[in-house]
Structure 1
């Protein structure tokens, strides 16, 4: 059973916090956190990511970016990454985590969720929509 879920992207300020807070909302009985393979450690969620999330009823307030470490990987049952290439990045940090690392977009056609960082609001809205659809697809499988 997957009770502790870690959502991973690069900077841990756009996609993974959105995925984390959506899964927390959908799976309140699970422990969900997020991290980045190249995290902007200590930074809050990107303001545009927060605006788009809030428009959709989710707040990213209080989020602080953290770096993915092998220790962090060992603490979680399931690691969900935003892009296929992140699987390799996670494996480079913690080889033993490979078997429990999957794509966040696994159940929406194994889609990569593109990084909207420093792009238009439309890019953030598109990424959020994919994250939302993916989170809703994961929720019944993790319940």
Structure 2
């Protein structure tokens, strides 16, 4: 699993957070990007997502939202979504992705709530979920490449 795609709804809050955390933790040799099912195309990461990430040493200022499409899904070896509904929608539209789409919170059977248009505390909560769940995926991804 060298190519990892992280997906949420608008690609400005949760999926960029997952993308940049995975990039930081996986290091060289892995390609990570994110997309949205209803992306706010070309928008930067939400200012609160960026602020919280920067407080934890993660710079997301280069992010520009992109819409999920067949080419990105073909590129991805692993697709990590924020909600079970995202998983269902991708598999319904692209049935051939079944088996490579998983919830970011799969290990604890949890969806990561969308902080969009909510107070800063919702963004902190999303960061906390994603940052706590990232080591699970880093381990899985590295094990798949014989690096664990």
Q: Distance in 2 between matches of 1:43 and 1:57?
A: 21
Q: Secondary structure at the match of 1:41?
A: coil
Q: Is 1:73–2:105 an aligned residue pair?
A: no
Aligned to 2:145: none
* TM-score, scaled relative to structure 2: 0.92
After TM superposition, the runs of 4+ consecutive aligned structure 1 residues lying more than 6 A away are: none
Deviation at 1:63, TM superposition (A): 0.3
The residue aligned with 2:16 is 17
Unmatched 5+ stretches in structure 1: none
Tell whether the 8 Å contact from 1:69 to 1:93 is kept in structure 2 after alignment: no
Distance 2:45 2:92 in 1: 25
Which ranges of structure 2 fall in alignment gaps of 5 or more residues? 143-148
Q: Secondary structure at the match of 2:131?
A: helix
Pairwise CA distance, 1:49: 0.6
Paired residue for 1:129? 128
Aligned residues between the structures: 141
Q: CA RMSD in A?
A: 0.9
Q: Deviations over 1:15-44 (max 9, x none)?
A: 000000000000012110000000000100
Does 1:85 find its partner at 2:76? no
Q: Equivalences for 1:15-54 in 2 at 5 Å? A: 15-28=14-27, 29-54=29-54
